[in-house]
Amino acid sequence: MKRKLGLLVVIALSVTFGWTSAYLRLPYVDENYSFWIGIICFASLLLVFVLLLNIWNKQAVIIRLIGKKQISETSRNSGLTVLKLIALVFGLGLSASVIGHLIINGQVEEQIVINQKQKNIIEEQGQIISLFKNRNFSELINAVLIRAEMELESDSNGRLSDPLIERIAGLSIALKPYKYYLSDSLTTKEFSPERGQLLLALSIMDLDSITFMKIKSDVLFTCSDLRGANLEGADLSGIDLSNSILENANLCNANLNRAQLQNTNFRAANLNNAQMLEADLSHSDLSWAVMNGAYLKYAVFNGAYMRNTQLIKADLQGSFFQYADLGGAMFNDSNLKGSDLFGTKFVKTNFTKANLSEVRFLHAEFRQAIMLEATLTNSKVENDWLKKVIDWKIIGAKKIIEEYEVDSVVLETGLSYIIQDKN
């Protein structure tokens, strides 16, 4: 009776241990099946070891293992019973732990799925509400534009009244950015198509420069969706279009002098001959954009993504490209005199006949760049830059080494290394 009771107690304890271990959560440990199975196996083996100690004391199984055949029937039965008990305990403990863990894990995953569905529903409802709300604003936008046309008809100078400009400004603030469905999926960022429509409508109106300047300074156009928009020749000087999207937009001959264009998407946009004096394009995406002949003096491209951007015959004097990615970009016949290219990547970038004099090249990478007939006089570099020219496999490296040398110069900022002509 005592033996049976002890057996039941051991089995109950093993099942309880295995089941509760499935609920256990240890800090700094990834929860997965293999880890928990390993834990239970270890615990079960520990229990086996304890039971084997009991067998050791009885010596029945040990005697059998060392080859002594003459043992009593009682000892043999006792050893077999203990072995059965070990197998039972091990199996029950492991099974209970695995089943318990699977159940708990299934419940957790089910709850995660439910929570995600609820989150998606709430987000979709929010987007629907925002879309409905902004569609209602369309009537207000039309009303404002009609009022503007009426005022322009009565004023041949192309001026709008200050109250109307204030009304437009207030409306632009109300047109808050939101995520919306585009090609059956939500946009990754929040934009305002309504602000973009408002800007397009105002840009084609026959407004005088002073009125339009007031609109650009007072009206909020950030986060505008202007993808594919035609703004050719538009005067957008000083405008704030940061965080907007102008992918595939036509900005040829547009005036963007001193415009705020940070974090803006200009992917594959047409910016040929655009005026962008002191424009700030930090962290913008200009990949595959066409900017041939653009006026970009003192423009800021810090942290910009400009893969395969065309900047042929562009004026970039004194511009900033710190930590930008210009892989595959084309600067043929461009003027980059005095520009800051600190830490910039120029992998397979084309600088054929480009003016790179007085440029800051420190920590820049020119791997497989094309620098045929490029001017490098008085540019700041590392003292081993000419060696790097070979390591980078720059096209035109031989000519550069023949024509230039690196010399140390003491400047106001301290000791610097300058590229100088050998002749």
Rounded to whole angstroms, the Cα distance separating 331 from 54 reads: 84
Strand pairing category for 185-186 and 181-182: antiparallel
Look up tokens 């800090």; give the residue.
27
- Contact in structure between 323 and 304 (CB atoms under 8 Å): no
Backbone phi, psi, residue 227, to 5°: -65, 130
| pLDDT band with cut points at 50, 70 and 90 for residue 112 | confident
Compute CA distances 409 → 319, 362, 418, 419, 420, whole Å.
23, 15, 7, 10, 11
Rounded to whole angstroms, the Cα distance separating 344 from 301 reads: 10
Instruction: Evaluate if residue 285 carries a pLDDT over 90.
Output: yes
Instruction: Evaluate if residue 376 carries a pLDDT over 90.
Output: yes
- Please tell me the predicted confidence (pLDDT) of residue 188: 84
Please state the pTM of the whole predicted model: 0.68
| Cβ neighbours around 233 below 10 Å, total | 14
Q: What is the pLDDT of residues 287-341, one digit of tens each?
A: 999 999 999 999 999 999 999 999 999 999 999 999 999 999 999 999 999 999 9
Domain ranges of the chain: 2-122, 301-423
CA angle 240, 245, 248 (to 5 degrees): 120
- Contact in structure between 41 and 94 (CB atoms under 8 Å): yes
- Please tell me the predicted confidence (pLDDT) of residue 25: 47
Strand pairing category for 414-421 and 380-381: antiparallel
Mean pLDDT across 7-19? 60
Compute CA distances 355 → 153, 227, 337, 338, whole Å.
50, 33, 6, 9
- Contact in structure between 36 and 21 (CB atoms under 8 Å): yes
Question: Out of 56-70, 208-222, 364-378, which region has the weakest mean confidence (pLDDT)?
Answer: 56-70
| pLDDT band with cut points at 50, 70 and 90 for residue 30 | very low
- Contact in structure between 285 and 305 (CB atoms under 8 Å): yes
Nearest by Cα to 361 from 406, 313, 299:
406
Nearest by Cα to 18 from 94, 78, 71, 84:
94
Query: In the CATH hierarchy, which top-level class contains the domain 301-423?
Result: mainly beta
- Please tell me the predicted confidence (pLDDT) of residue 96: 62
Mean pLDDT across 134-144? 75
| pLDDT band with cut points at 50, 70 and 90 for residue 235 | very high
Q: What share of the chain is helix, strand, coil (3-state, %, to 5)?
A: 45, 15, 45
Question: Out of 128-142, 160-174, 223-237, which region has the weakest mean confidence (pLDDT)?
Answer: 128-142
Q: What is the pLDDT of residues 169-204, one digit of tens each?
A: 988 988 889 888 777 777 888 999 999 999 999 999
Q: Taking the alpha carbons of 309, 312, 314, 316 in that order, is the dihedral positive or negative?
A: positive
To the nearest whole percent, how much of the chain has pLDDT over 70? 69
Hey, what are 196's tokens?
A: 């973009």
Instruction: Evaluate if residue 15 carries a pLDDT over 60.
Output: no
| pLDDT band with cut points at 50, 70 and 90 for residue 216 | very high
| Cβ neighbours around 189 below 10 Å, total | 13
- Contact in structure between 397 and 360 (CB atoms under 8 Å): no
Compute CA distances 62 → 3, 70, 74, 87, 395, whole Å.
21, 12, 14, 18, 80
User: Long-range contacts for 90-95 (Cβ within 8 Å, ≥24 apart)?
Assistant: 90/44, 90/45, 90/47, 90/48, 92/11, 92/14, 92/15, 92/18, 93/14, 93/15, 93/17, 93/18, 93/40, 93/43, 93/44, 93/47, 94/18, 94/37, 94/40, 94/41, 94/44, 95/18
